[in-house]
Structure formats: C-alpha cells, structure tokens
Chains A and B, each alone.
Chain A
C-alpha cells in the first residue's frame, strides 16, 4: 500500500473540488426538500462520528446523493475512484480532527446550497475544506520531517567503516 503523501492529498483535494463544483449546478434542480434534509442530517452525523469506517460510508452516501442527482455518471465514477484513493487518509483524518474540532464544510454547503446560492455555497465549502487540507498537509510534512532524521546514506556509511578499519 502506498504511503501517505502531501502531494497526493493536494491532488485529490483539487480534483474533488473541481468535480463537486461541476456537479452542484445540475444536481440542484433535481434535489427535493427531503433530499436537502437528508443530506443535512448526514452532514451533521458526519461531524459527530468517531469511527473511520462509518465516516467513510456516510461521506460516500452524502456525496453519492449529490452526484446521482446531477445525472453525470462519469463525474460520479471519477469521484468514487478518488474516494477510494482517499480511503488511506480516513483514519488519519479522524485522529487529526476529533468531533469537537472537525470542520463543518458539508453542513455549511447544504445550508447555503438549499437557498439556491450555488456559487456562494461552493465558495464556503471550498474555504473550509482547503483549510482542513492545509492542516493535513502540514501534519504529513512535519511527520515526514520527523521520520527523516539526518542519517548517513548506506553506501557512504559502508565506505566510512571501511576507511576506519
């Protein structure tokens, strides 16, 4: 399994945002009040969950609802693939953002989106989402810096031991 990387997080985040922005407009006309209520309920639940598996499932449900209403199957499929790729980051996200400090980008999105303000809703969502992504990237970078302590490369170490003898 590939290790976590800051570059990958950024790629996934940018692509997800692009896909969500493409799906929001066509989905709006097909969403009913009940759909909005359901999505808002899921968003609220997502901020309270402390289990990575449940978080993944509910998040998928939340976004599947949106993309299925957009009736853009290719967008939906690509988004699902990105979701699969992002699975590795879920446990870390749970640790990094406990329910008390978890960003509420989905709730904000639905609150504004249900009023028909699609652009504003996406902008608010993107702002909170990117802040969370920045935190995740910082965490990964600091972890990487901690892991890569100044070690002598293998070849050189060998050479130095040979010279010492």
Chain B
C-alpha cells in the first residue's frame, strides 16, 4: 500500500517533492489543509538564546565587573591589576579550567626523556 502511494506520489510530483509527499503519505493527515506541502523541517525562528548564554558566561561577567569597577573608579588608570587579585575580586577562577587541569590531555613523553629498558 505504501509502495503504491510512494510510486503514485513520484508520478505526481517532481524529485524535489518526493520526501515531502512520502512523508505526508505516512503521516495519514486527514484534512486538506494538513495535506498541503510543508517543508520537512521548519526552521525555528531566530532566537537570541546563544547571545544570552554568552553573556552569562564567566569571562563576560568578569569583563562586566571590571568595567563597572573602572567606571566606579575602584580601579584607577595606572593601577596594577594582577590575575590573582582580579580572580579573587570577581570570585572566579584565574584561568580557564581546561588549562588548570586537563584530564583528557594525552601524556606524551618528551623526546629528551630518558627511558630505562629492562631486559
């Protein structure tokens, strides 16, 4: 039955419509309104989800805090801003986690390392 439908559809529509029509056939839609050609996957409307995620990330928050401190004159031009001090003030890790501990990093012995061969 499905094969019949599929071949019928092939006769009716061009190659571009194959998937859509075949999909329609399998979905058993009832009304004519539902039977109209629809794209396989409708693109979701653009959202600013990524943007909001980015702005909530630690580096952005730190930048924001530092900027606010500069504007409030907590940090003044010419002051020394050390990594440790900044990390403490902004309550964040001083450096990206990946650099501090990298459990996934493969340990490769350097070429100059001595190796003892036991016979």
Contacts and interface: CB of A to CB of B under 8 A. Distances in A.
B3 interface: no
A68 B53 CA distance: 20
Contact of B71 (A1, A2, A4, A87): A87
B13 interface: no
Interface in B69-111: 70-73, 75-81
Interface of A: 1-4, 52-53, 56, 84, 87-88, 90-91
Interface class of chain B by DSSP: loop
Which 10 pairs show the lowest CB-CB distances between chains A and B? A3-B78, A53-B71, A52-B71, A3-B77, A4-B77, A88-B77, A1-B79, A91-B73, A87-B70, A1-B81
Contact of A56 (B71, B73, B81): B71
B67 interface: yes
Contacts of B54: none
Contacts of A91: 70-71, 73
Chain B, interface residues (CB within 8 Å), range: 10 to 19
B33 to A, nearest CB: 36
Given A53-B68, A84-B67, A1 B75 contact: yes
Contacts of B78: 1-3
Nearest to A88: B77
Nearest to A84: B67
